[in-house]
Amino acid sequence: MIKRFFKYLANLKLAILILLVISLVISIGTIIEQNKEIIFYQKNYSTLIFNLPLWRILLFFGLNNIYSAWWFFFLLGLLGLSLACCTIIQQLPTLKFSRRYYFYKQINQYNKLQTKINAIKVFPSHLSHTLLNKQYSLFQQSNSFYAYKGLISRVGPIVVHLSIICILAGSTLGALKGFNSQELIPKTEVFHIQNVIKNGFFSSINQKTFRVNDFWSIYTTNGLIKQFYTDFSILNGNGKEIQRKTISVNNPLLLKDLIIYQTDWGILGLRLKYFKDNTSRVSLQLPISKINTSNQKIWISSLPSVQKNTNSFIVLIKDNRGQISLYNNEGKFIKSSNIGDMIYNIDNIGLNLIDVISSTGIQIKSDPGIQLIYFGFFFLIFSSLISYISFSEFWLLYSPMKVISGGKTNRAKVKYNLEFLNFKQSFFG
């Protein structure tokens, strides 16, 4: 029964059916938003189906988290097992059979071939020399020839199956043991991984110590951000720097078990210095809030008055260039100030802008299966290329009175027919 079960799994139609089911499930995952809060599904999927709200059905079957559901892993495992059975039970024996040399000794065997030649005489020594020059492997037994070339193409389907199995295994390993964290860190701060937004069932968070040394942006001539950079360090347990790199978008920091991406940026506050009569100086930190707009990022705060009978200011920041805009309470623009400028100075009492506290958005990702996935895709490309190589065979049976020859190929049949016609014109009479 076990043998029958594995033979049933080796069925190509079953593997295609499983692949279609997985494709259907993945397409559902692109339609239904994944990994959202329950409240989101309650709000957007409230339609009743058989007196049950749709969101309950989605959550019951795990359609809100498809790629981490047990049944999705089961489908991937079933596809991998089917491909493995197909490789062991069908492909490897086919490859072994293709390596054998066998001779056609009966005329009816030649009648089944794609191309054949009937002649009176042949020049076997010249023909064999030409076959060897054309990279054929040649075997002779008495008055019979057998030759083949392109055996490596028979390896193609086996490598395809193994590549897909590697990709499935790598994806499953990454989903079960990987995690994804997003951090918004002020520059000069030391931090650990805390804000984990996604993790697998067997994930373990490696608590490395990181430090953001600096963060800055580069702008285009029309004021749009061209690129933003973070000077990033990894520290050991004693606080000593062991690795350092400036990362940017599409230029991550690659560690042994982690990948650190530059994803976003923000502004957390302002550093100010209050002074009075040029003697008393106090450092202040002013919090700031972000306004969500469709076009650009804007941060806003209120700068309180530091003296009686003076008005407070509204502070707006539009970018990370170290410039702030001041408005009065009626929304009228007053002036712009840069880092180091005096915001105001009345009767030797005033505020000085010391710094704009910017923050960098960092994504820290662990995917232990990524190497398997790369390995699988590399060999999938390689197997696709070698699968285009033709596997061609050639047979010859001759006697003093009669010669018959034939051959077949699985690809490039026109080219093979021209090659066979050249054999006929050169070596048969």
Lowest average pLDDT, out of 160-164, 239-243, 288-292, goes to: 288-292
Question: Does residue 21 register a pLDDT over 90?
Answer: yes
- Yes or no: say if 165 and 91 are a contact pair by the CB < 8 Å rule: no
- Yes or no: say if 160 and 382 are a contact pair by the CB < 8 Å rule: no
Q: Which two tokens stand for residue 321?
A: 């260039």
CA distance readout (Å), 257 to 203, 205, 426 = 12, 10, 63
Q: DSSP H helical segments within 147-281, as ranges?
A: 156-177
- Yes or no: say if 230 and 215 are a contact pair by the CB < 8 Å rule: yes
Q: Helices 2-9 and 70-86: crossing angle, nearest 10°?
A: 100
pLDDT mean over 194-214 = 87
3 state SS of 326? strand
Residue 279 pLDDT? 63
| Vertex 288 angle, CA 315 and 215, to 5° | 105
Residue 99 pLDDT? 66
CATH 1.25.40 fits 267-358, yes or no: no
CB count within 10 Å of CB 373 equals: 18
Task: Give CA–CA dist 112/356, Å, rounded.
Answer: 83
Nearest to 415 by CA among 113, 115, 99: 115
Question: Does residue 294 register a pLDDT over 80?
Answer: no
3 state SS of 34? coil
Q: What does the pLDDT look like over 32-52, one tens digit per residue?
A: 888 888 888 888 888 888 788
Question: Does residue 129 register a pLDDT over 70?
Answer: yes
pLDDT mean over 106-126 = 84
Mean pLDDT across the chain: 85
Percent of the chain past pLDDT 70, that is, above it, reads: 94
Torsions phi, psi of 158, nearest 5? -65, -45
Helix (H) or strand (E) holding 424: helix 413-427
Helix (H) or strand (E) holding 201: none
Residue 308 pLDDT? 63
- Yes or no: say if 138 and 145 are a contact pair by the CB < 8 Å rule: yes
Q: Which two tokens stand for residue 335?
A: 């002036």
Provide the pLDDT confidence category of residue 365 given band limits of 50, 70 and 90.
very high
Please state which CATH number belongs to domain 99-150+390-427.
3.30.310
Torsions phi, psi of 357, nearest 5? -80, 100
Provide the pLDDT confidence category of residue 98 given band limits of 50, 70 and 90.
low
- Yes or no: say if 71 and 54 are a contact pair by the CB < 8 Å rule: no
Question: Does residue 280 register a pLDDT over 60?
Answer: no
Question: Does residue 304 register a pLDDT over 80?
Answer: no
Helix (H) or strand (E) holding 242: strand 241-248
- Yes or no: say if 363 and 182 are a contact pair by the CB < 8 Å rule: yes
- DSSP code of residue 329: T
- Yes or no: say if 429 and 146 are a contact pair by the CB < 8 Å rule: no
Task: Give CA–CA dist 361/382, Å, rounded.
Answer: 38
Please state which CATH number belongs to domain 161-265+361-381.
2.60.98
Q: Which residue has the higher pLDDT, 82 or 313?
A: 82
The radius of gyration computed from the CA coordinates of the chain, to the nearest angstrom, equals: 36
Residue 364 pLDDT? 92
In a 13 Å sphere around the CA of 200, the CA atoms on its Cβ side amount to: 20
Residue 213 pLDDT? 92
pLDDT mean over 64-76 = 89
Q: Longest Cα pair distance anywhere in the chain, in angstroms?
A: 125
String of DSSP letters for 265-301: EEEEEEEEEEEETTTEEEEEEEE-EEE--SS--EEEE
- Yes or no: say if 299 and 286 are a contact pair by the CB < 8 Å rule: no
Q: What does the pLDDT look like over 131-188, one tens digit per residue?
A: 888 888 888 888 888 888 888 887 888 888 889 899 999 989 988 898 999 999 988 8
CA distance readout (Å), 104 to 144, 274, 394, 405 = 7, 101, 10, 9
- Yes or no: say if 298 and 318 are a contact pair by the CB < 8 Å rule: yes
Q: Which residue has the higher pLDDT, 387 or 397?
A: 397
Q: Helices 12-31 and 70-86: crossing angle, nearest 10°?
A: 150
3 state SS of 153? helix
pLDDT mean over 244-266 = 90
pLDDT mean over 380-398 = 86
- Yes or no: say if 50 and 87 are a contact pair by the CB < 8 Å rule: no
- Yes or no: say if 155 and 385 are a contact pair by the CB < 8 Å rule: no
304 Rama class: left (phi>0) / alpha (psi -120 to 50) / beta: beta
pLDDT mean over 315-321 = 85
